[in-house]
Structure formats: C-alpha cells, structure tokens
C-alpha cells in the first residue's frame, strides 16, 4: 500500500480525537541542535479544517487494526473500515516533512491495540524515540497512552513526549462497561494516577535541584532531571453515545481534574462513523451540547464554579439556547445586579459577558477611580450582555427580569433512549 493511501486511512481513523493542544510544554528551540523544532509555551494552530477544528499536530494512528471492540469506535474489531499500518520510519518522515513545511507543531500519535498493550505501546514509543534521538526533533509530541502498558514503557513515553493522554471515552463506568467491554475504567484511573505521580515527582525534583557554579564567573547551572510529560496529561469523553446527562459528565470531569490534575478534559460529540455498530443508531452530532460542555468546563477551571452548581435544569442537561454562565445568572436573579465598584472578584467573575481579563482590569481601575458604564465599552466586553446584570456609575439596570428566558430545547440526541 502506498504512503498516500495509508495516510488517508490512518488520518481518517484519528479524526474522532478532539485533542489538539500543542501548548504548555517547556520552552526549547533547535539553535545549536542537530535538527529542527521548538516549543515556546503557547501552541499554534497551523490550519483549520472546514469542521472548525484546528490542525496543530499531525494526528494519526500508527495502525487502525484493533483487537478491542468498542462500539462507538470506527476502528473496533468488528468494523469493516479499510485497515492500514504505518512503519515507524514512515510516521517519522511524515512528521518531519510537515514540520519543515510549517504545517504542524508536532505529532499526536495514537494506535489501535495489536498483539498486546505492551507491544503497541512499544511501537508508539519507538516513533517518539526516533524523532527525539535520531533526528533531534524538538517540536511537540503527544502520545496516546495505553492503560495496561508496563511501567517501564510509560516512563519512556513520558521522557520523549510533551503530553500523554488516556481517554476515558465514556463519562460513567456503566457506559464504558456497556459500550467498551474490554476497557477497564479502574485500570484507566490507575494509569492516570500513575502519570500524575510521575509528573508531580519530576516537577518536585526539578524544583529541588540546587544550581551549581561549575566555573568561576559562569552562571550557576542545575543538572535537570529527565523531563516527564512537561505539558501534563489530558483525556477525552464522548458525548451523546450513551444516556449520561451533562450533570454527570461535569461531575466526572471535576473528579478527574481533582484527582489527576489533568490539563484538559476534551469533549467529543459522538458523530456518525462509516459502518456504525447496530447498537448505536446515528444522528447528527450534538455539536451545541459539546460547545456548552466546553463552556461549563471553562467555568469550573477559571471562574470558580463548582461542578454541582452549573446545571440547574431538572433534566440534568445544560441549556442549549443560552451559555451556562448566563443560565446560572438567570437562575440566580437574586444575586444580581452586581456593583462593579464594590463587588468582590468572585462575584464579578459570575457576571455574564465579563471575562477573566476584563475582571482584572476592572479591579485595577477600581483602585484609582470610580468605574462608569462606558468603561465597559472600552473593555471590549459585550455591553448589551453585561449591563442588565451590573450597577455602575451612570447605570442601573431597569427593574424586572434581566431578560426573558425561552424554554430550553431538548437535545435531539436524547431521543435515542
């Protein structure tokens, strides 16, 4: 099979993974090295597909042969999709070629399970090793980790990769048991715990190293411990393949963030796949619901919301017609209007339309003068959205409800059950 065909099959197989981040690693560049590549903190989206998703990494599977039979997966053992398998050097060359063209930030490599978890993980790690050691590649590498792989392989994966991820795929244990009989949720959690401990230990060690002045006059330098996944770990949940509601999904996310210090939980709306399993009737993917989950996730991570207070609807689903922050404000009208000149930071953060940066600026400005309503326009916040919820000099919201709230629409996906 020629390379074009393999790439087509194995990119097709990888497109259901939502993760795309190439950020958060240690800064490094290729000056003085033997190859190419750099990471400078923020990731770069080099292109966008018509599905609105960014292309930042070359996202492929090493092989889409798989011995597992997870019903939601296009590559499950019982599916009739065409199969292919990359050789290690093919992935390495593709990565370097796309990188030289400045099309990508690096590689995101995943794989179907062939022969055994250890054998598969070994192949994946070998790609990363070749890039790092033989080609001195200093771009970004994200490796999908197989929960049942041995400790030693995980340690090597973390040495070469910037980020590791293990997908829980289903938000609940029951969902996973029903749709992915070979996957074991507790093994996944144990693996995440294993990664977190290693990431923490490496950070701790790096902090403890005392810089030593090797030569008189030279800047003191520290022997850094070998890195382990400096950009941390992430995971993904499929939304809408089972009947789990948003409240449970957010509770699962909060648990994962709290227990394993994940950098990100990605949500992937279950979308039609070619040759789908009989058990999962297909409808258009619940994209709006996915979007609302990302917004809710943001509220948990940056706005001080607890997972249990975000979903107010009795059916346990986020409203699709308004964003979760606005939904919360409408459900807690008694907490508004918020006085921009006196309210504490945590309450300003709950005002619909005010972002973290805008809140910082307001707090700064408040120290030297009174905040007026027209300041909001200068902050480039959506004034129409903010004004009904705030009091400022020269502005009081009109009496009565801030805005009419139409009844939430039920997501189409729920009709499956």
Partner 1 sequence: MHVRLDDPVDLDAFRRHARQLLAAGVPPDRVEWNAAQAAGDAADLFGAASDAAPPAALASAAQHQPVPAWFVELCGDVILHRDSQRFALLYRLLWRLSHEPALRHDPLDADLMQARQMAKAVHRDIHKMRAFVRFTRVQGDDGLERHVAWFEPEHRIVEANAPFFSRRFAQMRWAILTPERCVEWNGQALAFQGGADRREKPPPDAGEQLWLTYYEHIFNPARLKLAMMRREMPRRYWHNLPEAALIQPLAEAAAARSQSMIEAPPTAPRRIRAPVALHLRPAAGVAPASLGELRAAAHACRDCPIGALATQAVCGEGPLGATHMLVGEQPGDQEDLAGRPFVGPAGQLLDRAMAQLGWARDAVYLANAVKHFKYELRGKRRIHKTAGQREAEACAHWLDSEISLVRPQGLVALGATAARTLLGRPVAVQTERGAWLHERGDGRPVFVTLHPSALLRLPYPEQGEAFGRWLADLALARGTLSAAIAA
* CB of residue 318 to partner 1, shortest distance in Å: 19
Q: Does 182 bind partner 1 (CB under 8 A)?
A: yes
DSSP E strands, 240-293: 264-269
**Rounded CA separation 83/76 (Å):** 11
| Region from 71-79, 155-163, 231-239, 323-331 binding partner 1, contact rule CB under 8 A | 71-79
List CB contacts of 368: < 8 A, sequence separation 6 or more.
none
Residues 345-374 that bind partner 1 (CB under 8 A): 361, 364-365, 367-369, 371
Q: Torsion angle of alpha carbons 283, 287, 288, 291, nearest 10°?
A: 150
Return the residue of 118, 184, 245, 313 that touches partner 1, per CB under 8 A. Answer: 184
Tell whether residue 333 is a contact of partner 1 (CB under 8 A): no
Q: Give the x/- contact pattern for partner 1 in 76-105, rule: CB under 8 A.
A: -xxxx-------------x--xx-xxxx--
Least distance (Å) between residue 146 CB and partner 1: 11
Please state the length of the chain: 417
Stretch 369-398: interaction string toward partner 1, x if CB under 8 A: x-x---x--xxx------------------
Q: How far is the CB of 210 from partner 1 (least distance, A)?
A: 22
The 139-178 site mask, x for binding partner 1 (CB under 8 A), equals ---------x------------------------x-----
* Dihedral of alpha carbons 411, 413, 416, 417, sign: negative
The distance from CA 391 to its chain's CA centroid, rounded to whole angstroms, is: 36
Q: Least distance from C-beta 225 to partner 1, angstroms?
A: 19
> Which residue stretch of 62-70, 163-171, 211-219, 333-341 sits at the interface with partner 1 (rule: CB under 8 A)?
62-70
Contact status, residue 56 vs residue 43, Cβ threshold 8 Å? yes
- Of 269, 273, 290, nearest in space to 282 by CA: 273
String of contacts with partner 1 for each residue 101-140, x by CB under 8 A: xxx-------------x-----------------------
Considering only 24, 158, 285, 388, the residue that binds partner 1 (CB under 8 A) is 285
Strand segments (E) across 261-349: 264-269, 338-339
How many angstroms separate the CA atoms of 405 and 22, rounded?
38
Instruction: Report the residue from 41, 129, 134, 278 that binds partner 1 according to the rule CB under 8 A.
Output: 278
C-beta of residue 358 within 8 angstroms of C-beta of residue 379: yes
- Chain residues 190-249 in contact with partner 1, contact rule CB under 8 A: 190, 192-194, 196-197
> Number of residues in contact with partner 1, rule: CB under 8 A?
99
Return the CA Rg of the chain: 24
Instruction: List, in sequence order, every beta strand (DSSP E) within 56-178.
Output: 57-61, 106-110, 140-144, 163-165
């Amino acid at each position: 099979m020629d390379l074009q065909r393999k790439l087509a099959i194995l990119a097709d197989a990888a497109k259901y993974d939502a993760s795309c981040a190439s950020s958060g690693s240690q800064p490094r560049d290729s000056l003085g090295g033997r190859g190419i590549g750099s990471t400078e903190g923020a990731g770069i989206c080099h292109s966008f597909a018509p599905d609105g998703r960014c292309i930042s990494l070359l996202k492929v599977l090493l092989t889409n042969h798989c011995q597992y039979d997870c019903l939601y997966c296009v590559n499950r053992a019982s599916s009739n999709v065409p199969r292919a398998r990359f050789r290690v050097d093919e992935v390495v060359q593709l990565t370097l070629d796309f990188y030289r063209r400045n099309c990508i930030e690096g590689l995101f490599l995943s794989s179907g399970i062939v022969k055994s978890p250890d054998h598969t993980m070994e192949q994946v790690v070998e790609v990363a090793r070749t890039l790092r050691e033989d080609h001195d590649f200093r771009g970004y590498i994200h490796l999908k980790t197989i929960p049942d792989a041995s400790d030693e392989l995980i340690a090597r994966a973390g040495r070469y990769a910037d980020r590791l991820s293990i997908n829980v795929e289903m938000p609940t244990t029951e969902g996973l048991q029903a749709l992915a009989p070979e996957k074991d949720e507790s093994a996944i959690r144990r693996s995440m715990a294993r990664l977190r401990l290693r990431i923490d230990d490496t950070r701790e060690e790096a902090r403890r190293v005392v810089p030593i002045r090797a030569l008189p006059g030279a800047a003191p330098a520290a022997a850094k411990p070998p890195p382990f996944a400096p950009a941390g770990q992430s995971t993904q949940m499929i939304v809408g393949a089972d009947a789990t509601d948003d409240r449970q999904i957010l509770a699962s996310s909060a648990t994962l963030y709290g227990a394993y210090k994940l950098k990100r939980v990605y949500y992937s709306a279950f979308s039609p796949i070619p040759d789908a399993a009989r058990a999962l009737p297909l409808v258009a993917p619940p994209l709006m619901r996915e979007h609302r989950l990302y917004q809710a996730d943001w509220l948990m991570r940056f706005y001080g919301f607890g997972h249990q207070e975000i979903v107010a609807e009795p059916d346990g689903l986020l409203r699709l017609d308004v964003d979760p922050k606005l939904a919360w404000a409408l459900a807690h009208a008694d907490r508004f209007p918020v006085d921009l000149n006196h309210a504490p930071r945590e309450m300003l953060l709950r005002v619909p339309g005010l972002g973290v940066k805008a809140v910082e600026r307001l707090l700064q400005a408040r120290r030297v003068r009174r905040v007026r309503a027209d300041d909001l326009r200068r902050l480039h916040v959506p004034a129409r959205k903010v004004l009904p919820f705030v009091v400022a000099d020269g502005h009081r919201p009109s009496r009565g409800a801030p805005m009419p709230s139409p009844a939430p629409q039920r997501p189409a996906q729920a009709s499956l059950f």
